């Protein structure tokens, strides 16, 4: 129970890595504000992903509320903090997870795709971190901000020229925010997932690419969202009380495996 009675905001928390983080925070005692951007079409009588994760958190005995919003809009960050205060009395943890990666060639990259990717991945991280940090400062009890960056902060991708800069930018933001916020006891760190199987890459992970990755990854498999959640809980907890401006690479050894 590393996060007993803490309040966590998780952006993009209804699916994939964000969902796994939201659930693990709840397992460790946190109440969770789950942000999501879209309501996918669902069969009559079934639940949306956001409804499902809220119900799963409540089944764990913790509080949960869903807030729909595009994190590239600063108003969403305010709405998330307001919801945390209204429902749970404040904010202790902010996980900036929401992200997009529509694979596209560089030479004919449409400006709108670049702007959307920067808006969600980098500006969205900025807005939610800023809103959470202002609340944490006013609360006077510190806090933890975690950006879900990526191995793509460290390496490139032919079809990710719009995306990898946002991942590097997220961590650079955490480094500078760590300096700006340390005086308030607010820690800012990044987690760098490797290739994790989620909705955003299911079409990209062809059998051939999966075989390549499995051969390159020393642990022999692609990551799952649940492989990331523990590092986030650690950074959010008092076990990381002297860690700020840092990064944790969670990639099965992919990055270091040149030969
Ligand atoms: C990650 C990394 C993975 C890719 C996802 C979409 O940062 O580049 O390989 O599948 O993004």
What was the pLDDT predicted at 146?
A: 99
Which of 14, 152, 153, 167 is labelled catalytic?
167
- Ligand 1 centroid vs 184 CA: distance in angstroms? 33
Residue ranges in the chain modelled with pLDDT below 70: none
Note the pLDDT tens digit of each residue in 157-210.
999 999 999 999 999 999 999 999 999 999 999 999 999 999 999 999 999 999
How far, in Å, CA of 68 to CA of 89, rounded? 20
Q: By CB neighbour count within 10 A (0-12 exposed, 13-18 middle, 19+ buried), where does 160 fall?
A: buried
Indicate the domain borders of the chain.
7-250
* The token pair that represents 218 in the structure block: 């020393």
Q: Residue 93 in contact with residue 144, Cβ under 8 Å? A: yes
Positive or negative, the Cα torsion across 37, 40, 44, 46?
Answer: negative
Catalytic residue flag (residue 167): yes
Angle at 31 between CA 65 and CA 227, to 5 degrees: 100
Which of 150, 152, 231, 237 is labelled catalytic?
150
Among 99, 155, 161, 196, the mutation site with the greatest number of ligand 1 atoms within 8 A of its Cβ is 196
How far, in Å, CA of 156 to CA of 203, rounded? 19
Among 122, 152, 254, the mutation site with the greatest number of ligand 1 atoms within 8 A of its Cβ is 152
Q: Which CATH superfamily is domain 7-250 in?
A: NAD(P)-binding Rossmann-like Domain (3.40.50.720)
Residue 192: C-alpha distances to residues 4, 27, 114, 167 (Å): 25, 22, 21, 9
195 CB under 6 A from ligand 1? yes
The pTM of the whole model exceeds 0.75: yes
- Ligand 1 centroid vs 144 CA: distance in angstroms? 25
């Amino acid at each position: 129970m590393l996060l007993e009675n803490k309040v966590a905001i998780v952006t993009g928390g209804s699916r994939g890595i964000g969902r796994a983080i939201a659930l693990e925070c709840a397992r460790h005692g946190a109440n969770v504000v789950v942000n999501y951007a879209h309501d996918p079409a669902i069969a009559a009588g079934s639940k949306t992903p956001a409804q499902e994760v809220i119900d799963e958190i409540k089944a764990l005995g913790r509080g949960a509320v869903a807030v729909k919003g595009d994190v590239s809009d600063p108003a969403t960050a305010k709405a998330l903090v307001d919801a945390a205060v209204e429902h749970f009395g404040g904010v202790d943890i902010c996980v900036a997870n929401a992200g997009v990666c529509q694979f596209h060639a560089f030479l004919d990259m449409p400006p709108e795709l670049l702007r959307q990717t920067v808006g969600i991945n980098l500006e969205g991280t900025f807005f939610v971190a800023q809103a959470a940090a202002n609340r944490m400062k006013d609360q006077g009890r510190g806090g933890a901000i975690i950006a879900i960056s990526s191995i793509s902060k460290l390496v490139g991708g032919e079809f990710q020229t719009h995306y990898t800069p946002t991942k590097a930018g997220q961590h650079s933001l955490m480094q500078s925010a760590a300096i700006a916020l340390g005086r308030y006891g607010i820690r800012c760190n990044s987690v760098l997932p490797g290739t994790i199987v989620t909705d955003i890459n299911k079409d990209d992970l062809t059998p051939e690419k999966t075989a390549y990755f499995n051969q390159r990854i020393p642990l022999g498999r692609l990551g799952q969202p649940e492989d990331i959640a523990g590092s986030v809980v650690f950074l959010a907890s008092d076990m990381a009380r002297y860690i700020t401006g840092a990064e944790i690479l969670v990639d099965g050894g992919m990055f270091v495996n040149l030969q």
